[in-house]
Each structure stands twice: as C-alpha cells, then as structure tokens.
Amino acid sequence: MAASSSADVKIPKSPVVILMIGMAGSGKSTLMHRMVVRLSKHKKVYTVNLDPAVRNLAYPVNIDIRDSVNYKEVMKHFGLGPNGAIMTSLNLFATKFDQVLNILNKRAENLDVVLIDTPGQIEVFNWSASGQIICDALAVSYPTIVCYVVDTARCVKPVTFMSNMLYACSILYKTKLPFIVSFNKIDVISHDFLKEWMEDFEKLGDALSRETSYVASLSKSMSLAMEEFYRNLRSVGVSAVTGAGGEDFEKAIQEACTEFQESYVPFLVEQRRDLEEKRKASVEEQMKTFERGLDRAKATNKRGRDTDLDQLGEDVQNLSIEERDYMMDCMD
C-alpha cells in the first residue's frame, strides 16, 4: 500500500470519499448519478461501482467491480445463488482493494470527490468482513463519509421510519464515520413530516400510538432516545430525479468533511498501523475462505470442471483492478 503504511504521512484533505449506502430501491444509484452530474460541473469527480449484480449504470464509472469479477461466473462455478454470489464477488474484490487505493493515490492530486456505489443488498456491505475491509482502508487514506439513502415515501408509517432509523444507527455504529442521511424522493413526498418527527419525539410518539399497540410503549421510550440521536445527525432531503436539495447535500458534505478533519483525523492517524494490520489479516482470512470454497467446489465437482476451477483460482490470484478510460470532464 502506497502512502498509508507510514504513520507520519497525514491523511490528505482531498479527495473526499463518499460511500453511498442504502437499501434496495432507495434510489442510491440514481442519486449517485444525479450527484455525479451536479458535482462535475465544478469539481473533479471519480466514481467506483461495488455492486456486482447491477445491470445498467446511468453514470460513467471509473472503477467497476464487474470488470474484475463476473458475478454470473461466480454463481456458476461455486454453485451459489444470487446472494452468495454477490457476497463472494465482493469478498474477492476486497482482497485486492489495495490496488484500488493505489489507483486513487495516483489520481488523488487531480480529484475532489470520489463517489462509491455499494451493493443493493445492504447487508452484503455492512455485515461482512469485506465491507469492513473496504471501509477501514478508505477511512485511513482519505476523508471518508457515509451517505445513507432513505426512501422517504417508505417512511410514512412511523414504525417503518423507526425501523429505518434504527438501521441507520446500526450502520453508523458499524462504520464509525461522519454520517449523512439523505431522504430521497422528496419529489414524491416532502420530508417535512420526518423533520417534525425527528425534532419532537412526542409527535412521533403520538403517531406511533395511533399505529400498532404491541410496540407502542417500546417505541415511545425509544423515540426519546432517538431524539438524542437525531440531534447529532446530519440529514438532508433530496430528489435524485429532479435534483432538488443538491445544495443542501453539498453543504452537508462540507460539514461532514470538516468533522472528519477535526475529530477523526487525529484518531485515525494513530490507529492507522493497527488498522492496517487488521486489514491485512482480514484479507488473508478472505483468501483462505475463498480457497476453501474453491476446494469444496472441486470436491463436489458440481457445475464447474476441475480445469475451469483451476483457472478461476488462478484468475483470482492474478485479479487485477482496472480503471476505465473516462475523461473526467466528459460527463453529460
């Protein structure tokens, strides 16, 4: 790994890395597209796609996991279903993530923002060792912030809203990075009612008690705790489709960056060596798991023949991450 192995090297202020995380259907990739278009008007933007199963991407991608890992092949050779294949694809990519960092290091001087699209199966990224590897590797190299995208229309029921916000807490506590919640699709429904709920826990409590009774008392107590959470939470309303809220979004990014510089950098620089070791160990673990899977596939000799599997094994060892040749200023 280029720059970050020495504890003396500081974390640069740019580029800012934004991890777009959100559930399937939240509009994550659409929002990413919208931001790419918006930001590239006055900033230099770089994009990375980590979703191995996505069919079409509307935005131009600089590094795409699909170039290095073929998700359908993984499904076939390992005899996995769609979920297993996505997980394995991400695991494979994560073992070579230092190559991504090398590419970014080379480009860093000329970049302002790096946007990273994560898999639609949110748990693949959040509850896997590879998601952790990627997050940690980025956090010690560049100012990294998490943007959690929420479908506003789906939060109309207070229980669903709570559930979603608890999930946001879960991600925040997992990644431990500056956080922005983007309430997407405000062109469909304004997020004002959500702002109200977040600012006044009693209003949320009332809405909850009108709903189901089973979790009513639990929800009420939780809404008090959650109000404290919202106080420290940065949130914006956006519409990926119309572009509304773009300014607020950019402002939030700025604030998150400042937070990163002021609070996180001293901590991360100290932890860097530690984190780097943990990351290496994790990567080795992943490679071993992969090899075990390959051996198992060979042993049961399901759908792939031995030679195919050997080839796959070799391909993985030699997996190299390529960069596409998009000109930075050539976006629609």
Partner 1 sequence: MQLQQLHTVWLQRLNMSLAILHVCGCPIPRFFGARLKRPRTLINLDPANDELPYECDIDVRELVNVEDVMNELELGPNGALLYAMEYIEVNLDWLITRIRRATAEFAVPYLFIDCPGQVELYTHNEVMTKITQQLTKALDLRLVAVHLIDSTLCVDAYRYLSAVFLSLSAMMQLELPHINVLSKIDMVMDHTDDLSFSLDYYAGVSDLSQLLWTLQTTRHPMSEKFKEFNRLIAELIEDYGLVSFEPLDIQDKECALRVLGRCDTANGHIMNSEKVEDPSDPVSGVRLFQAGFSDAGEFLDEYLERYEERLQQR
Compute how many other C-beta atoms are within 10 angstroms of the C-beta atom of residue 181: 26
Compute how many other C-beta atoms are within 10 angstroms of the C-beta atom of residue 202: 12
Residues 298/306, Cβ–Cβ less than 8 Å: yes
261 touches partner 1 (CB under 8 A) = no
Residue 278 CB, shortest distance to partner 1, in Å, is 9
Site string for partner 1, 302-321 (x = CB under 8 A): --------------------
Return the number of the residue (39 or 204) whose C-beta is nearest partner 1.
204
For 2, the enclosing helix (H) or strand (E) is none
Q: What are phi and psi of 322, to 5 degrees?
A: -105, 155
Q: Considering only residues 5-44, where is the footprint of partner 1 by CB under 8 A?
A: 23-25
241 touches partner 1 (CB under 8 A) = no
162 touches partner 1 (CB under 8 A) = yes
Which of 4, 40, 89, 164 contacts partner 1 by CB under 8 A? 164
Burial of 76 (0-12, 13-18, 19+ CB in 10 A): middle
140 touches partner 1 (CB under 8 A) = no
Place of tokens 């494979």: 92
Using the Cα atoms of residue 304, residue 94, residue 115 and residue 127 in order, give the sign of their dihedral. positive
Site string for partner 1, 48-77 (x = CB under 8 A): -----xxx----------------------
Return the number of the residue (99 or 164) whose C-beta is nearest partner 1.
164
Return the number of the residue (41 or 55) whose C-beta is nearest partner 1.
55
Q: Quick one: tokens of 166? A: 């608890």
Stretch of 153-161, 185-193, 194-202, 245-253 lying at the interface with partner 1 (CB under 8 A): 153-161
Instruction: Please name the residues in contact with 126: beta carbons below 8 A apart, sequence gap of 6 or more.
Output: 21, 170, 171, 174, 175
Residue 197 CB, shortest distance to partner 1, in Å, is 14
Which of 4, 68, 89, 128 contacts partner 1 by CB under 8 A? 128
Cα 197 to the center of its chain, rounded Å? 26
CA distance 310 to 276: 30
Of the candidates 105, 144, 130, 128, the one whose C-alpha atom is nearest the C-alpha of residue 18 is: 144
81 touches partner 1 (CB under 8 A) = yes
Residues that bind partner 1 (CB under 8 A): 23-25, 53-55, 79-84, 86-87, 120-124, 127-129, 132, 151, 154-155, 159-160, 162-164, 166-167, 169-174, 176, 212, 214-215, 218-219, 221-222, 224-225, 228-229, 232, 259, 263-264, 267
